[in-house]
Amino acid sequence: MNRAILLDRDGTLIHERNYLCDPAGVELERLVVPALQRLHAAGYLLIILTNQSGIGRGLYTEAQFRAVQDELARRLGEHGIPIAGDYHCPHHPTGARGEYLRVCECRKPAPGMVRSALADFDLDPAQTFMVGDTLNDVAAGQNAGVRGVLIRTGYGAEQDRGDGAVVPDHVADDLLRAVEDYILVAASPDLR
């Protein structure tokens, strides 16, 4: 079995820009590069899981979404960071149109994308973490049996004051702090 870090995109890997559809808007969050380099060196697969209701709302196309993903992968690749895979949910239960207007199992906090990644990449849930800037990210991971980490970038600072219904396994100021203070500590000793 493999181990992985499942990563939200907007507000976690890149700056939150509502309904980003232009690759020129891709700007990496602080300390993402050294954090992902540490994880990659420790043998973790890096997989992106992102809600993208802008597709379902008709604000941008699948091709525009893919162009943003490709730009993110290109920028990370410049630092030797490979993205093993990515999953996205274009649905929304109230704001989307047509076939995208529905309750689904893939939109976080539902666990569908996490379960797909676990199966597709033969991931060990005990060695897999879901990291994001919202409690929906944390809940998606926990609902699929993996640990959920909230970081205070993007919406994370306001989400950290949650109502207690979702309790992250760990909270950190940024991705690098999450990696150094929790993920690598929680992993086997040979990864530290």
Give pLDDT, residue 68.
Answer: 98
Rounded CA-CA distance 104/110 in Å is 8
The encoded tokens of residue 163 equal: 């109502």
E-strand spans in 20-163?
45-51, 85-89, 123-132, 147-151
CATH of the domain at 92: 3.40.50.1000
Our answer to whether residue 8 is catalytic in this structure is: yes
Rounded CA-CA distance 123/143 in Å is 15
Pick the catalytic residue from 8, 86, 137, 174. 8
pLDDT average, residue stretch 121-127: 97
pTM for the model:
0.95
Pick the catalytic residue from 10, 86, 137, 174. 10
Boundaries of domain holding 26:
2-191
Give pLDDT, residue 80.
Answer: 98
Per residue in 129-150, pLDDT tens? Answer: 999 999 999 999 999 999 999 9
Is residue 52 a contact partner of residue 89, using CB atoms and an 8 Å limit? Answer: yes
Our answer to whether residue 137 is catalytic in this structure is: no
Residue labelled with tokens 């232009």? 22
pLDDT average, residue stretch 51-63: 97
- Structurally, the chain folds into a number of domains equal to 1
pLDDT average, residue stretch 61-89: 98
Per residue in 145-185, pLDDT tens? Answer: 999 999 999 999 988 877 788 999 999 999 999 999 999 99
Give pLDDT, residue 160.
Answer: 83
pLDDT band for 75, please (50, 70, 90 cuts).
very high
Higher pLDDT, 164 or 74: 74
Residue 189 in this model has a pLDDT that exceeds 70: no
Phi, psi of 34, deg, nearest 5: -65, -35
